[in-house]
Amino acid sequence: MRARYVVTSTCLQSGTISLTRSLREMLSGKESIRCTDEDGESFDCGVNWVRGVLEGLSSYFGKRRLQVNDVIWITREDEQIILEAAAARKVRPRSMERPAADAAAAQQVETQKVRVPVTTSPGESSPPPAKRVRVTPRSDRRPPSKPLHVQLLEQLEFKHHKGEKYDVFRAYLGRREYSLQLGRWNETSTADLVALKRTGKADYVALLVPEDNRNEALQELGPVRIAAITPEALGQLVSLKKLFPVGPVEFERLLRRGLVDKNAVSKLAEEVRRWVGERAAFSAVLLALAEYNRQQVFFPEDVLAHLGEGSWDGEQVHNVLEVLSGPPFMLLERSGAGEYLLREPVADNLAHLAEYALSLKGRITAD
């Protein structure tokens, strides 16, 4: 029997590994075991069924210099447990240090200077003295910092290209991309922006204007299809990105409406709150299911009753249960008459899902 385990930071700190489903089957009925590594060295380990971990592996982790996301293959042959680290790191031997006496002698030889007298014949003149050149240290010159709006758009995953008169930004969206040329308030005239729009060199042409001058700019632009963008709105979008991954796609929706200001970003924030609310509903359903036992049958109405008071409805609960019934969770099984069966405890299911996610992450980072 053979199992694959992905090392986590908790494993390295505690010297344990979690008892996954495969390890539970492999170590069934054991309280203490002796594990053997690749070199034949043995480690006395204990199976803590209460905590759900295999203890006593700190010395093995240190010996193999394992890190997070490294893989351990665990094999059971008869009554013997064999550990094999797939990403073990060999310890490099330290270079031999030079003795202190030899180092001092070498330093003395290096610092000694041999002076050779230079003699000149009576008919020859002595060489002219060497000129002394004064060297002044060059001061560290830091490149000028980027303007604030450039920094904010780059944080929103735009690529900045310096144009002749305008800032050019490009959003790369896989099969599609779009470009934005940005003029500045009191530096770019409306006529210039209109002429730039007609050239078709950019998908979108916009004017960067402070929030206080927004109304004045909109009156000046009039019916011209040129968007207005405020730096304050860009700052709000960057703050919103910390809550939810907004980027060029959501920004383009605002561009098409012709105005990217604080009000427009506030409306987008309301949508994001609804998306985050769906995640909260998902968490609430999982917490309610954590109260159920393994192999327990229930109706969606039972889960809704466990949620208590809140802005939950039957459709939300049903949608979450459907997701939990499919991959990668496979936590529930649909039965007749709208019933659901809990395959295993929620905590165990999340542990298996975390193991799967870390394993997949390890493959991605390795590639």
Q: For position 126, what pLDDT does the model report?
A: 56
H-helix segments, the chain:
9-14, 21-26, 58-64, 100-111, 148-155, 190-199, 214-221, 231-241, 248-257, 262-289, 300-307, 314-325, 346-366
Q: For position 109, what pLDDT does the model report?
A: 47
Instruction: Return d(Cα 181, Cα 202) in angstroms, integer.
Output: 6
Tokens of 346: 């929620």
Tokens of 365: 């980072």
Could you say which of 2.40.330.10, 3.40.640.10, 1.10.10.10, 3.30.565.10 is the CATH number of the domain covering 2-85? Answer: 2.40.330.10
Instruction: Return d(Cα 330, Cα 197) in angstroms, integer.
Output: 53
The CA dihedral of 253, 256, 259, 264, to the nearest 10 degrees, is -20
Domain coordinates of the chain in residue numbers?
A: 2-85, 148-270, 290-366
Domain 290-366 in this protein, CATH class:
mainly alpha
Instruction: Return d(Cα 320, Cα 283) in angstroms, integer.
Output: 9
Instruction: Return d(Cα 39, Cα 287) in angstroms, integer.
Output: 45
Residue type at 32 in one-letter notation? S
The CA dihedral of 358, 14, 92, 68, to the nearest 10 degrees, is 10
Instruction: Return d(Cα 316, Cα 319) in angstroms, integer.
Output: 5
Q: For position 263, what pLDDT does the model report?
A: 93
Tens digit of pLDDT per residue, the chain (367 long)?
778 888 888 888 889 998 887 788 888 888 888 899 988 889 999 998 878 889 999 999 888 888 887 888 888 887 788 898 875 454 444 444 444 545 555 455 444 544 545 445 555 555 556 556 565 555 555 555 788 999 999 999 999 987 777 889 999 988 889 999 998 888 888 888 888 888 888 899 999 999 998 888 888 887 777 899 999 999 999 998 887 888 999 999 999 998 999 999 999 888 887 777 777 788 889 988 998 988 999 999 888 887 765 567 788 888 899 999 998 999 999 887 789 999 999 999 999 999 989 988 888 887 6
Instruction: Return d(Cα 335, Cα 361) in angstroms, integer.
Output: 34
Residue for token pair 């405890």: 345
Instruction: Return d(Cα 7, Cα 180) in angstroms, integer.
Output: 45
Residue for token pair 């610092």: 111
CB 221 within 8 A of CB 190: yes
CB 332 within 8 A of CB 341: yes
pTM: 0.47
Instruction: Return d(Cα 123, Cα 40) in angstroms, integer.
Output: 85
Instruction: Return d(Cα 313, Cα 281) in angstroms, integer.
Output: 10
Instruction: Return d(Cα 71, Cα 9) in angstroms, integer.
Output: 13
Residue for token pair 């050239």: 199
Q: For position 131, what pLDDT does the model report?
A: 58
Angle at the Cα of 360 from the Cα atoms of 175 and 38, rounded to 5 degrees: 145
Instruction: Return d(Cα 72, Cα 351) in angstroms, integer.
Output: 17
Q: For position 91, what pLDDT does the model report?
A: 44
CB 258 within 8 A of CB 308: no
Instruction: Return d(Cα 212, Cα 197) in angstroms, integer.
Output: 25
Residue for token pair 């206080």: 212
Alpha carbon 94 to its chain centroid, in Å, reads 35
